[in-house]
Amino acid sequence: MRLKDIFDNNRHWVAEKLKTDDQYFSKMARDQDPKLLYIGCSDSRVSTEELMGMAPGEVFVHRNIANMVPNTDLSVMSVIKYAVNILKVQDIVVCGHYNCGGVKAAMESADLGLLNPWLRNIRDVYRLHQNELNKTEDVEQRYRRLVELNVLEQCVNVTKTAVVQRAYKERGLRVHGWVFDIHTGLLKDLNIGFEDILNKVMEIYRID
């Protein structure tokens, strides 16, 4: 892929959109009204809108290495705040994926410099679920399970925020944990039990 090709592709895309609706871009420029906030991994194989069959304007997206929601990360916290309070999304999804390089790196003991503190958040997930993970002897299976548990713990982090707790009370906003299976292309709902998580979280992290 040459960068020049991107501009050719872009012009082709514009022409295709205008063929179906000559107001397509003027309508799009007016506003956005997404109902979903998607927090996923930066991995180039997990193409958010494409795999969900969603069009521009339908999903608000945040991506970083290993779909993390660290409590002190201003970027993801700002995205959540904006999506919930201004855009009024009704659902928040944390979507992980099998074969996640970030999760894999956290399972190994290499020193990755600047990446260490980021990956430490995943190691914290490992520590929280150490008993279960250590019982799983098959490395590949342990890796897959850590991907799922990481999604679960990032959903907990989303639920700890005041904006999310308030929006749940006011309009029933929900948090979901999904995994994208890179081997089959299928999305899997982990059925995280959002209300149970919320109740447990609020025992300690309740805001008002």
Q: What are the b/e assignments for 93-126, b being 16+ CB within 10 Å?
A: bbbbbbbbebbebbeeeeeeeeeeebbebbeebb
134-to-47, 129, 138, 166 alpha-carbon distances in Å: 32, 9, 10, 37
Between 168 and 180, CB nearer to Co ion:
180
Q: Of residues 41, 95, 125, 133, which one binds Co ion by CB under 5 A? A: 41
Q: How far is the CB of 123 from Co ion (least distance, A)?
A: 15
Q: For residues 126 and 98, what is the distance between their CA atoms, to the nearest angstrom? A: 16
Q: For residues 20 and 34, what is the distance between their CA atoms, to the nearest angstrom? A: 22
Between 149 and 167, CB nearer to Co ion:
149
Q: How far is the CB of 101 from Co ion (least distance, A)?
A: 6
Site string for Co ion, 50-89 (x = CB under 5 A): ----------------------------------------
Q: Is residue 122 at the binding interface for Co ion, with CB under 5 A as the rule?
A: no
- Which amino acid is located at 91 in the chain? D
Task: Determine the interface stretch with Co ion among 14-22, 38-46, 52-60, 144-152 (rule: CB under 5 A).
Answer: 38-46
Catalytic, 95? Answer no
Q: Is residue 94 at the binding interface for Co ion, with CB under 5 A as the rule?
A: no
37, β-bridge pairs: 60, 92
Chain residues in the site for Co ion (CB under 5 A): 41, 43, 100, 102
Residues recognised as catalytic? 41, 43, 45, 97, 100
